[in-house]
Amino acid sequence: MNLKLLLCSLVLASLSACATLPSTGPTGSQIEQSVVEAGETGLNIAIVPVNSVAAIPPVVAPAEWQLPDLEAPPSDLIGAGDVLLITVFEAGVSLFSGDAPSPVAGAGGFDPSVKAHTLPPRRVDDTGHIDVPYVGRVAVAGRTILEVQGQIRRALRNLSQDPQVLINRQEVIGNSIIVGGEVTRPGRLVLQTNRESLADIIALSGGYRGEPRALVLQVERGENVARLRLGDVMTGPYRSLRAYPGDRLTILPEPLMFSVLGATGRVQQMPFPRERMTVVEAIAMAGGPRDDAGDPEAVFLFRYAGPSGTEPTVYHFNMMQAPTYFLAQQFALRDGDVLYFGNAAANQPRKLIQTISQLFAPIVTVTTLTDNLSSGSGN
């Protein structure tokens, strides 16, 4: 009799605790109610039932290219930091060596009296100048090699007999770019033609490390910065964008991610398996709502929507309706989306039964043992 009284007391205690049983999250109706309550406090959240094609938002276009589209300069344009190797050819008495001229060879042959003198390497300073003996400071930045050769030749003409000047760039800084991040060979890369695309630069750097869908290309051009998905640069709409001297390219790991919450088999952030995926694929990756806890009529997608991406929006998918599966195949997932599986309203009674079973199991075992002992003693 005391045992029965104890069992009844446990049942009553369990029933009184029903409202406090743990839950995987709110039900669908609770989410909709909370959206209404949020609106009363000034937080406007739109809830959109995905039950027609009109409810599907447009696919997000690739990030807009925001850098100025500049015309490529000549590839032999001299810039600050370049190291120039200057050779002066002179006929007659040399300004640089002091050697006397040699007899002139026969007609049509090479004149052995011509002397070639290579000056020590000259680095273009930050103001764009170099120093040349007998000429002084020469402004060279922003000029081509041919223009500077003519400039030095004219300055030496009154000092030497028919001087000729040849300039080679020993180091190229001005007509180069910096490549860093997730590339095989980071460092400085000289633009040979000034017609190289951003994809060409990545290839010339040995290629990228990782998957394009998980990488972002950051381009710094002067004071401006642009960020593009690497897939859009390598094979997408921006594959023909050209690099510009002075650019700084950095490939950064930034995978596309979505979050899974609620009554599902997993609660975590998940990466996109490819750059473009749909909601139905995300539901499949997450494992769908749990049979013992989730409600297939209450699948929600939380997102900041709108033209500026600042409007909180909740999309409701009723997966008990066949058309929803087709609509979910057209609904493009976005980076940062939150996929939520609502808790089933019938889940609370089920949890109560499970709790009572766990509570009663040891008592039933003790009762059985007691009955067996009593029967044994009676015999």
Per-residue pLDDT of the chain (379 residues; tens, 9 = 90+): 454 444 444 444 444 444 444 455 788 788 888 888 887 788 888 899 999 999 999 888 777 777 877 888 888 999 999 999 999 988 765 666 644 444 444 444 455 667 888 999 999 999 999 999 999 999 999 999 999 999 999 999 888 878 899 999 999 999 999 999 999 999 999 999 989 999 999 999 999 999 998 999 999 998 889 999 999 999 888 988 999 999 999 999 999 999 999 888 778 899 999 888 999 999 999 988 888 788 899 999 999 998 888 899 999 999 999 999 999 999 999 999 999 998 887 544 444 434 434 444 444 454 555 555 556 555 5
Q: What is the CATH number of the domain that holds 36?
A: 3.10.560.10
pLDDT computed for residue 294 by the predictor: 85
Q: How far apart are CA 150 and CA 112, in angstroms?
A: 23
Q: What is the CATH number of the domain that holds 141?
A: 3.30.1950.10
pLDDT computed for residue 1 by the predictor: 47
How many folded domains does the chain comprise?
A: 3
Shared domain for 37 and 90, answered yes or no, is no
- 98 burial level (CB within 10 Å; 0-12, 13-18, 19+): exposed
Residue 267 included in any domain: yes
Q: How far apart are CA 189 and CA 207, in angstroms?
A: 13
Residue 309 included in any domain: yes
Residue 273 included in any domain: yes
- Final residue of a structural domain among 171, 194, 225: 171
Residues of the domain holding 273: 20-49+256-347
Shared domain for 276 and 343, answered yes or no, is yes
pLDDT computed for residue 357 by the predictor: 47
Region at 309 (left for phi over 0; alpha for psi -120 to 50; beta for the rest): left
Shared domain for 137 and 189, answered yes or no, is no
CB under 8 Å to 368, separation ≥6 — which residues?
none
Region at 377 (left for phi over 0; alpha for psi -120 to 50; beta for the rest): alpha
